[in-house]
Amino acid sequence: MSNSRTIANRELFSIVRDTLLEGSTVRVAVNGQSMLPFFRSGSTITLRPIKEGDIRKYNVVMADVGEAFAVHRIIDVGEEFVTLLGDGNYLGTERVTRDKIYGVVDCSALHIFFAKIWLWMRPVRRFPLAIFRRVL
């Protein structure tokens, strides 16, 4: 008999948000393809509480995007709003205020380097994404 259960995104990530606000890190399993090719469904990521300097382009953050929470990459930082986009998406950005960002995934310099290339490929990345979705 399994002890696992499925709960809604909002419920799970509300707990994650509260844990991050208390100052603790949280490990979560990725569910879905919105961060392909960098994070596959089933892989585990570690979120740590947001601190000064973390809200910058190319970082992967957890944010409250309204109806749900998302773990997506920052593609633009404005005075008031931060724009997020899942690596597995080429359309559909989210705009959030800085106070709605609760955690960050620490990524290596190599990861950030490839993320920059991937973001640059945005106009054509639907083609490699189609392959990644079939293979990964």
Q: What is the pLDDT of residues 30-81, one digit of tens each?
A: 888 889 999 988 899 999 999 999 999 999 999 999 889 999 999 999 999 9
Of the CA atoms within 13 Å of residue 99, those in its CB half-sphere come to: 1
For residue 98, being part of any structural domain is answered with yes
Residue 22: beta bridge partners? none
Query: What CATH number does residue 68 fall under?
Result: 2.10.109.10
Q: How many domains does the chain have?
A: 1
| Confidence at residue 134, expressed as pLDDT on a 0 to 100 scale | 84
How much of the chain, in percent, has pLDDT values that exceed 70? Answer: 96
For residue 104, being part of any structural domain is answered with yes
For residue 3, being part of any structural domain is answered with no
For residue 128, being part of any structural domain is answered with yes
Instruction: Tell me: pLDDT of 96 over 70.
Output: yes
Query: Does pTM surpass 0.85?
Result: yes
Find the domain containing 93 and state its range. Answer: 9-135
Max avg pLDDT among 79-83, 86-90, 91-95: 79-83
Residue 64: beta bridge partners? 69
Number of Cβ within 10 Å of residue 30's Cβ equals 17
By C-alpha distance, which of 100, 104, 55, 49 is closest to 76?
55
CB 23, CB 49: distance < 8 Å: yes
For residue 4, being part of any structural domain is answered with no
Give the pLDDT band (50/70/90) at residue 2.
low
